[in-house]
Every structure is written in structure tokens, then in C-alpha cells.
Structure 1
Amino acid sequence: MHNGQVVKHSEELTEEKKKQLVGKYDSESRFRNLNIPWMVRMVTLLAVGLALFHLVTSFTGPLVTLKHRALHTGVILALVFLLYPSRKRAPQRRATVVDLLLALLSVATIVYIFADYSGIVSRAGLPNQNDLLFSILIVILVLEGGRRVVGNGLTLLASLFLLYAYFGPYLPRVIAHRGYAIDDIATYMYLTTEGIYGTAIGVSATYIFLFVLFGAFLNRTGMGQLFNDAAMAISGHTSGGPAKVAVISSGFLGSINGSAIANVVTTGSFTIPLMKRTGYSKNFSGAVEAAASVGGQVLPPVMGATAFIMAETLGKPYAEIALAAVLPGVLYYMGVITVVHLRAKKRGLRGLSRKDLPNMKQVIKERGHLLIPLVILIYMLFGGFTPIYAAAWAIISTVVIAMFRKTTRLGPKKIVQALEEGTRSALGVAMACAMVGIIVGVASLTGFGLKMTTAILVLGQNTLILTLFFTMLASIILGMGLPSIPTYIITSSMAAPALVKFGVDPFVSHMFVFYFGILANLTPPVALAAFAGAGISGGDPNRTGFNSLKLAAAGILVPYVFVYSPELLMQGTSALEIIWVTITAALGIIALGAGLEGYLLTDVHLPLRILAVIGAVTLVIPGLWTDMIGLSLVIIVLAIQMVKRKRSSNIE
């Protein structure tokens, strides 16, 4: 295709190695490799059937809420028991008898709701024995299925919440409540739309599933290759080019697929070896990919499907959420690029030779048509169509437009593979959402969310900055080891209300906890995205995590900016105010990068680094005086740097 193919050297990971790495750090990807034909066919039938069901209902409209969510959850559970072994030593090539029984019971939970739906509705609050039996069964199935897919962390948390619901009267007064019987807890989880079949699984059964499916179709067409090649053509030749390629391509891909770990492995298998080859350290190379992949989830248009949940939760149009997220997302990536660029300049790292890079015209000619479905998606989303309808048309348009070139064409076999792959990719998020339903359901039943809000406000001592700090800590802890979507659902219901009580706008509060929830993927000791980056680079996982945090420093700063200056989210303000806040935030991010990296135009020594960081923080705090102080400090740092560089060039 082009000379740029030479950069795909032997260090790039094989597909098998990629699968192993994703499976190591992402429990959602540890599928069995079934080799019994009838089991393989059963999985394909269930997966493709569920995908087609969601595609059809996106046009015809969903079933009655409880039925729609029950069918989605039941089929997902059946697939989980068939595809995920119960333990490491369990058979990896076939499902056991116990797995088949659990899959059958999962389907039975659907049949029961469909068969006795009118009875369930009429008995609301007065369950019979069958209701209780199936209610207890679904709770057990969700906990076991969640343990297999998402891991022990969220399963333990959901189990603790169930125990909390039961043992409420015996707990310390601060968190005590009247307590609920097992029957009441179980039926609340199964027979209402407040527990397992609550908002979280409702979003999984609509928006999330279709957008994951859209990502699977794009993946089959070679969209990842388009992003990689385009990023190489744009920035591969600049100082530290491969690192900038990682940032740009991961940002593009991450804004659509929503899985930070899969993104790290997909793009990192190509960019991390390149970064190491051009002089970046192992730890820094892995960190660049991790920080860039996580950031994709705060970048429109899709934001890992979280934008759609936020829109539904807050009752705002999707277009308003996506538009508000643009500037913070751009500033996040500006922060990562700044540190990458300054590190390259500091170390004298060069870019790649232009002759080894793809030609942009050739890249667009080869795969540029794959951008059309994205344009259609964005047009429909901003044009007032529902996200479900827009996603369905985006999937259909991908199949049609991919036919324009032989290299991207999807035949019947590839379409079936994309349908199955999309369903498989949705299993982890769906199971996480089902367990989050238990957590949020118990919080709603017992009033735990209100108690947590009170605790954060007490710790914050009625001071906004302290309340923000403790809300940040709560969001990071709640988000450890979780996908971005369940992280947002938990943090928005547990941590965000504290900020709302303090008078912060609900939308700003939700954006604040969302940012810090996803940054949990970079914060040791459970920094899964950073660990995946270290797995490819061969670096130390914790050092890679701390390097990731340095790169994502803008992601820590930006949420504080938009709390104090909502203009950054374009919330009810003038264009002039938006421009001013953006400029001061951008200058603050550059100053922060210089202070953290110790380089701007030349080496920055410790006193000046401290001055740069103070200037960056001061620019965050709203007000004319603080802006003037921040700008003055940044100008002083810049002036000293210019003088120093001039002197060093005169000496040379």
C-alpha cells in the first residue's frame, strides 16, 4: 500500500499475543475457546440472535420494559456460563454440565417473566413462592456470572450491599437502617425495574449494546488501521512522533469503542514498540498508550456510550452532553501531547523518517470511506434522532459503505462474525451493569446514597475544594477495576449528589465524578489500563501507572476547572467567556506539563518548576485577579526560559 508498511516491524504483537494480554488484564476477554461443534453453534445462535433482536427492536421499539431487560439479561447470562470458565483450572475447550445447567436456568428466568407477566404485575408487593424462587435464583446467577466475567471486586461489593440490606439494624448508627427480609430484597431485585433490571441494565439493553455492536462492525472493516495510518501521517515525523501517534490513534479509537484495556492492546501493540525504538523508556511508552486510551472515554462523539447514559439520567439531549464534553476532552489530550512533546524535546528524541510513513492521500483513498458511517452517526445524533435509531443506521451504513472497496468489504460470514463479536464484547459491560443494578437497588432501598452524600459533606467541612477532593477520592475508589459505564452509574448515584447538595450544577457534578471514575484505570494499585500498557512494553506496572498519572495530569486539573468555571462546558455563557476560560485553561495545562516534566524551551530547574505549577493551579481558580496572577507567573517562567535558551545558544 505504501512505504509506511515498514514501520510494522517484527516487534508488533501477534493476534494470539494480543488476546493473551487482553485476557490477562481484562477479565471480560477471557473467553473459552470451545471446540465442540454443537456448543460452538449454540453460542453463535444465542449471540447472533441477541444482536439481531436488538437491531430489530431499535426500529420497531423495545418490548415492555421488564420483558426487554429480562430477555437481554437472561441471554447474556446464558452466554457467560457457556463462554467463561468458573475457575482457571476448569475446562477451556468445553462447557461443563454445571455450566450448561446454569445457562438453562438463565433462560428459565426469561421464560418465567414472559409466561406470567400479568400475574407478576398484579401481585406487585405480594410475591408468591415461584416469584421468590426465581428472584433468589437470578441474584445468585448474576453474582456468579459477574464473578466469572468482571472479577471478584465488583462481585464482593454487590454481595456486601446485599448483606448491608439485610443486616441494617445491627450496623453502626451512622449507616444503620431498619433492615429488609431476604424475600423483600430478592423480589426487589428481580420483579421491579429498580434492582437488577434497573437503569443500568436498561442502558445496556439499548444504547450500550448497539454501540458496542457498531464498534465490532467498524473493527471488522479495518477502522483501527485507518486511525493508525492517519495518525502516523499526521505526526509520525515530528519530535517523539510515535508517542504522538499513540495519543491521536488511541483518542480516535477510544472515543468509539469505550474499552480502555482493549484500546491499549489494539493500538499499543503497534505504537509501544515504535516508542521504545525511538528512545522512550519502557515505563513511559506503556504510560502514553494507557493515558491516551483512557482519555478516549471522555471524548465525543460516543464517549464509550456514557454520554447516552448521562443524557438519560439528567434528562438532557445527547447533543448538549456531547457538545459540553468537547473542550474538556480536547484539553485532556492537549495535556498528554504537551508532556509527550516536552519529554521528546528534553531527550532529543526525533520522529520517524517521512519515507517510512503512510501517505495521507493514500490512506484516505484506501480506507477514508469508513469515516462515512461515523459522519452519519454524528449527523443523526445531533439531528434529534434517538441514539438507538442512530446506532442501528450507523451499523447498516457500515455494511453498505464497506462494500465500496474489496479490502474493507464484509461478506455474509464476516457480518455473522461481527454480530457474534459485538455480543461477546457486550457481555462484560452487561454483567457489570447487572451487578451495579444490585448496588444501586440496595442504595435506593436503604437510603445508603444519602448517607454517603452526608459523609462526603461532613469530611468536606462545608468547603467546596475539600468536598471536591473527597468526591474525587470516592470516585477513584468506586471506579477501581470497573469499565467506564458501570463506574459512571455508581459514582453518579453515590458521589455526585454530594456536589449537587453543595450547589454545583447536576451536569457539572456528573462530569466531575465521571472523569475521576475513569482515571481509576490509571491509579495504582488497580491501574488496569496502565498494567496492560506495561504488559506490552515490558515495564514495571506501578511505575507505568505513576507515569500515566503524570501524563493525565490535565485530566485531574480539568474537572476542577469546569466546576469553578462551568463556561468550559459551554453552560449558559457567552462565546467570549468560553474563549477566555479555554485560553487560560490551555495555558495552565502547558505550564503544568512544563512543571511536571522539567522542560519548556530548555531545562526547567526546581524553583521555576514550582512556579510553573503554582501558575497552572492559579489559572484554574476563577476570577480576574487569579487569572492575572497565573498569567504573570507563566510569563515569568517563559521569559526566564527564553533568556536561558538564548544564553545557551550564544555559548554554543
Structure 2
Amino acid sequence: MIQKVISVTAVAFSAYMIYATLFGPYRTTLVHLAIFLAASFTIYFLEREGRLIKDPLYLRAINWLCVIGTLAATAHIVINLDRILASWGASFLTTGDLVFGGVLVLVVLEAARRESIAFFLLSVIGILYILFGNLLPGVLGHSGMDLRRFIYLTAYTGEGIFGFGLNVAASYLFMFMLLSSAMARTKTGEFIMDMCNAYFGHRVGGPAKSAVVASAGLGTMVGSSIGNVATTGTFTIPLMQKNGLPGYKAGAVETVASEGSQFLPPIMGAGAFIMAEMTGIPYASIALAALLPALLYFVSIFAVVHFEAVKLGLKGLDRSEIPSARQVLHDGWHLLIPPAILFYLLMWEGLTPGYAGMIAVLVSIVVAMLRASSRMSFGQILSVFDRGARSAASVAALIAAVGFIQQAMVTTGLAPRLTEIMLLGTGGEMIWTLVLAVIAATILGMGMPTPIAYVLLALFVAPALETVGVSTLAAHLFLFYFAIKSGSTPPVAMVAIVAASIAKADWWKTGLWSFYYSLPGFIIAFMFVYSPALLFQGTAVEISMAMTMATIGTVGIAGAMLGWCGWPLSILERLALAAGSIFLIHSGLITDAVGLALVLGSVSLARFRASRSVASGISG
């Protein structure tokens, strides 16, 4: 019975969101977000009630109390909106306003606690800092805030729960959750996997290369590293293991490929939508700027996979195991229409991501009817909206609590003071500020979804990067990049844990190898900070040169790391190759010349040694 209630709520929720996307928010943005939060939390807590029906009575009662509290608080906002908006501040709130606002704060905290203990604790610290920061000495202290004003700002304005995080979830993210659900139902992932195997399966390390390309193609639309691993990993990881790659390495390949897909246009995951909201930079400009770094990232993974496959002597799949590319394309070409239309609408028509996503969802349902293999019944179409809304509800459960962190940073004036502290610790040097940002990303991203990790970094770290001379676009892309990579960085490495469970491998080894395989990709973020041409900022010649040098450097790092570049590398050759590749990070005539000399010298020496070894073996 509960599941039916959830399904009806989810489908109705989806219908309302399509209406709001077409005709605008109902009444005002605040009312729209209140409805969004009410539907999301109703689905979120009822779904747990349905799954955990054998739990003790008091735990089940908490689920129902959270649902009732959410509905009562959001209804209070909708009913009393005109009076609340007409009030001049916290002093005009009634006792009822304070009670319902307080209930909403508690429910949001409970949802955050269930999704992430770390983020829940951070939210609580943020609230305590807002209320009692006046008791702190020195630079961290502020004038303080009473409870009445805190509830007013948090529950009834755009500076708290109904801030930019929830706004992005409602405006952009929801439609892409529906799109992901539609693609899963039409088996778009299987089609992409078959196409990749058809083209790459017979090559050296073919299954691993197929996994990289498939994860890139599907993951940019899924927008979630964990979701991508769960979707493509069930196909790719067993195939890599069958080809001879150890389970922990197969899981690591899928992990790093799935992570990179969040940085690949046109969708780039929810973090890119939040970035557009926070920076004011158009989404299309962000996606275009991320294109070359994203391609470099996948070049690095492809190089790692190739060198590893050659070292391990892995062959491609037998021709009998590889599907016919012509047949696969004949059967599933229509599934490429929705992502193609989405890309066109985002990049050329300049539509908002939410509107473009909605059109892509509707187109995906229509084109699925063209072929029997993807055709859906009416019930299956409803299930697309059902599953999509449930996924969006889980995101809303965490992202609503972003408002507490935002408020703690903005209303107390903490943000500029943190920038001063960071710059004091790094001496204002760009390179050390970037390194500190990477450390912060690793710590803040532990166990948190990418959008939340990015938001925290944008609030805490971005101002410091901009102060030392990093452009706003480069600073936020840098932080977004490492927020993504935190998913494979031990000791938490949530994305690697999911991959390890599919591979039935040790999750710690999977996480360590994921980190190891990511090292060439780590360099790329520093590359686009020091070479703005990689973000399409410069002339065509500058962009071409920067991309060429960056590609050589990326492949060089992969070769130095694995000790192979077509020929085995000695320790000194690996060091020289790594040094030369790092020189290519900073675009410039001198650094490029030195880098190329070291790269070419080390590779030539390795080739010479290998040829001499072969010659001596023949003569012997």
C-alpha cells in the first residue's frame, strides 16, 4: 500500500514539475520550492517506511512524523505566504511561524543525517556557529544571531533551506533524474556498451577500453559517479575480469572512468548546474570550457588502460564475443536522438538545462516507441516518472541542508575571513593555494555526493583561489574536478566501494588503484589553471598548442607511472619522463621546450635500449 502511495505521489510530482518547467513556478519561487520540498520529503521518508517496515515502532513513527512535519510546515508557508512576505523581519513572526519553521529545520537535519553523517555534523556545526559564534574569540567570532532571526532567515527566505541548492535541484536537477530513469528503462546503457565493444573489444585490453568509452558516453547523461558505476559497471567489470584484469584493477578502471564522466559535457552532473547558479556564468560557457580538460582526462585513462594491458599481456575479445557494430547501430540508433537533441538545445539554442532536460525526457519516451526492443507500455512510462522522482527526492534530502552552510558562510561574514586564513597559510602563492584546495577537496568530499562537496568547496575555498589570481571559471572548475575525484580517494572512496562490490574485490585495494590510475588526471586540473587556452580562452593557435602539449604531458605521466611507453622504462627514464610531462603543465616556450626534450629523450632512450636488447638476444 505504501509503495502505491509513493508511486502516485512521484508521478504527480513529476507532472507538477513538467508544468512548472513549461509555465513557471506556481505563485512564487518560494511556494514552488516549498511544494518541491514537500513532495521530495514525502517520497523520501515514506520510501524508508516501506523498506524498513520490520523496524521498531518508534523508528517507523519518526518517518511518519517527518512526513507530517514537512507537509504541515510547507503548507503553513504556502497559506501564509503573503503575510510572511509583507513582514519586515524576524520580529513580526508569530508563535506559529516559529514552531513550523523550527519543525522544518529539524526535518531537514534528519534527512541530512540519514544521507550523510559527515554532512549532518557539518550542518549542525554551521547552525551552532550562526547562533553562538559571538562567543568565539578572534577572527572566527561574529556578532551572533538570536533564534527568532535564525528561523526567519532559514525557513522563510532564500538565504537558508530555500537557497540556491534547493533552487538548483528544482530548476535543473530534477529533469535529469527523469532523463536518467528514461535511459535506464529504454536500455540506452546496454546499447552504448554494445557499440563500444563492437569498436574496441578486439583491441589490446579491449574490454577495459570499452568500459572507459561507455562510462564516458553514458555517465555524462547519468550525472552521478556511483550511478554510472552501478549502471555500466555491471556489464564492464565482469567483462574486464574475464579478459584477465584482476578484480580490484577492473573496479579501479570503472571507478576513474565513471568519475570523469561527471566532468564531460553536455551535462556534467548536478555540480555544473550549481556552478552556473553560483558564478553567474552561463551553463553553455561552463560546458564548453570543460570540454578539452574532460577529453584530456579520458586520454589519460585510455593511456593508463593501454599501457597496463600491454604490460599484463591482455588481448582483446574473441571476434565471436563481439557484437556486430552495424547490427547494434541498426537496432538502437534511435536511442541516440534524445542526447543529441539535449546537446543541441543546451549548446546552440541556449535553453535552460531544466527546459532542455524536460524536452529530452519527452523525446526519449517518443523515440522509444519507434522500435519493439525499446517500446514501453503505459505502466512502464509511468515507472520512468516514478523512479526519476524517487531519485530526485534522495538528492533533495541532502541538498536542502546546504542552506545551513550557506547561511553560516554569508550571514556571519565567515567567507572572507576564511579566505584571509587560507592566504596567510599559503603566503598568497598560487601553487600552494591550489595544493591546499586539493587537500580540502579530499577531506570535504569524503563520503559526500559530488554536488555537496563542490558547494562546500565553492563556499570555503573558491574566494581564496580567485584572490591569488585564478579566474572565477578556472577556480570553480578546478574545485568541481577535485570534488569529483574525492569519490575514489581513500580512506572513504565511496565510488570505489561500489565498484569493488560488483567485482567482488577488496575495496581498499580498489580504492588505492583508483587513486593510482587517477594520478595522470590529477595533473590536468593544474594544466587548465596555468594554461587558460585549455578552457578555450585564447587564439586558435594558443588553444591548439596548449592541447597538444597537454596531451603529450598527460600520456607521458601515464607512461612514467606504469613504467611503459611502448617500451619498458628504467627508473631514470621514468623520472625524466615524469619531469618532462610536468614541465608541460605550464604553457610557455621555455617550459614546453624543456618538457618536450625530456619526454622525447626518455622515450628515445627506452626505445634504443629495447632495440639493443633484441639485437643482443638475436646475436646471442
The residue number in structure 1 matching 2:283 is 318
The residue number in structure 1 matching 2:397 is 431
Equivalent in 502, 522, 527 of residue 561 of structure 1:
527
User: Which amino acid letter does the alignment assign opposite residue 644 of structure 1?
Assistant: R
User: Which amino acid letter does the alignment assign opposite residue 81 of structure 1?
Assistant: F
Cα drift, residue 415 of structure 1: 1.1
Residue correspondences, number: 613
User: Which amino acid letter does the alignment assign opposite residue 109 of structure 1?
Assistant: A
Structure 1 Cα separation of the partners of residues 57 and 221 of structure 2: 32
Structure 2 Cα separation of the partners of residues 104 and 323 of structure 1: 44
- 1:639 correspondence with 2:607: no
Cα drift, residue 487 of structure 1: 2.0
Instruction: Answer yes or no: is the 8 Å Cα contact 1:331–1:586 preserved in 2.
Output: yes
- The one-character-per-residue Cα deviations of 1:489-516 (angstroms, maximum 9, x if unpaired) are 2211211111111121111110011101
Structure 2 Cα separation of the partners of residues 422 and 296 of structure 1: 20
Equivalent in 464, 469, 480 of residue 503 of structure 1:
469
Equivalent in 107, 115, 118 of residue 71 of structure 2:
107
The residue number in structure 2 matching 1:290 is 255
User: Which amino acid letter does the alignment assign opposite residue 60 of structure 2?
Assistant: T
- The one-character-per-residue Cα deviations of 1:532-556 (angstroms, maximum 9, x if unpaired) are 1111223222221121122222331
Instruction: Answer yes or no: is the 8 Å Cα contact 1:480–1:520 preserved in 2.
Output: yes
Structure 1 Cα separation of the partners of residues 88 and 245 of structure 2: 62
Aligned counterparts, 1:297-336, within 5 A: 297-336=262-301
Equivalent in 405, 413, 422 of residue 447 of structure 1:
413
Structure 1 Cα separation of the partners of residues 56 and 293 of structure 2: 44
Instruction: Answer yes or no: is the 8 Å Cα contact 2:3–2:47 preserved in 1.
Output: no
TM-score normalised to the size of structure 2? Answer: 0.96
Q: Which runs of 4+ in 1 moved over 3 A?
A: 85-90, 92-95
The residue number in structure 1 matching 2:133 is 168
- 1:422 correspondence with 2:388: yes
Aligned counterparts, 1:93-242, within 5 A: 96-125=60-89, 126=91, 127-148=93-114, 150-242=115-207
The residue number in structure 2 matching 1:243 is 208
The residue number in structure 2 matching 1:16 is none
Gaps of 5+ in 2: none
Gaps of 5+ in 1: 1-36
The residue number in structure 2 matching 1:526 is 492
User: Which amino acid letter does the alignment assign opposite residue 303 of structure 1?
Assistant: M
Instruction: Answer yes or no: is the 8 Å Cα contact 1:342–1:600 preserved in 2.
Output: yes
User: Which amino acid letter does the alignment assign opposite residue 616 of structure 1?
Assistant: S
User: Which amino acid letter does the alignment assign opposite residue 409 of structure 1?
Assistant: R
Structure 1 Cα separation of the partners of residues 337 and 241 of structure 2: 34
Cα drift, residue 95 of structure 1: 8.7
Cα drift, residue 266 of structure 1: 1.8
Label 1:95 to 1:81 Cα distance change in 2 as closer, same or farther (>3 A): farther
User: Which amino acid letter does the alignment assign opposite residue 584 of structure 2?
Assistant: L
The residue number in structure 2 matching 1:552 is 518
Structure 2 Cα separation of the partners of residues 86 and 482 of structure 1: 25
Structure 2 Cα separation of the partners of residues 453 and 538 of structure 1: 44
- 1:77 correspondence with 2:41: yes
- The one-character-per-residue Cα deviations of 1:603-649 (angstroms, maximum 9, x if unpaired) are 21211111111111111023211111100000011101221232233
Root-mean-square deviation (CA), in Å?
Answer: 1.8
The residue number in structure 2 matching 1:62 is 25
Instruction: Answer yes or no: is the 8 Å Cα contact 2:289–2:535 preserved in 1.
Output: yes
Structure 2 Cα separation of the partners of residues 462 and 145 of structure 1: 39
The residue number in structure 2 matching 1:33 is none
Instruction: Answer yes or no: is the 8 Å Cα contact 1:196–1:441 preserved in 2.
Output: no
Structure 2 Cα separation of the partners of residues 116 and 89 of structure 1: 35
User: Which amino acid letter does the alignment assign opposite residue 343 of structure 1?
Assistant: E
Please state whether the residue corresponding to 1:482 is helix, strand or coil.
Answer: coil
Structure 1 Cα separation of the partners of residues 101 and 582 of structure 2: 52
Please state whether the residue corresponding to 2:490 is helix, strand or coil.
Answer: coil
Q: Tell me the percent identity.
A: 36
Q: Which stretch shows the higher mean deviation, 337-346 or 535-544?
A: 535-544
Cα drift, residue 524 of structure 1: 0.5
- 1:379 correspondence with 2:310: no
Structure 2 Cα separation of the partners of residues 264 and 539 of structure 1: 15
- The one-character-per-residue Cα deviations of 1:442-461 (angstroms, maximum 9, x if unpaired) are 21111222222222211211
Structure 1 Cα separation of the partners of residues 56 and 134 of structure 2: 44
Structure 2 Cα separation of the partners of residues 549 and 137 of structure 1: 42
- The one-character-per-residue Cα deviations of 1:123-167 (angstroms, maximum 9, x if unpaired) are 14132211111111111000112222x121111111111111122
Structure 2 Cα separation of the partners of residues 168 and 316 of structure 1: 33
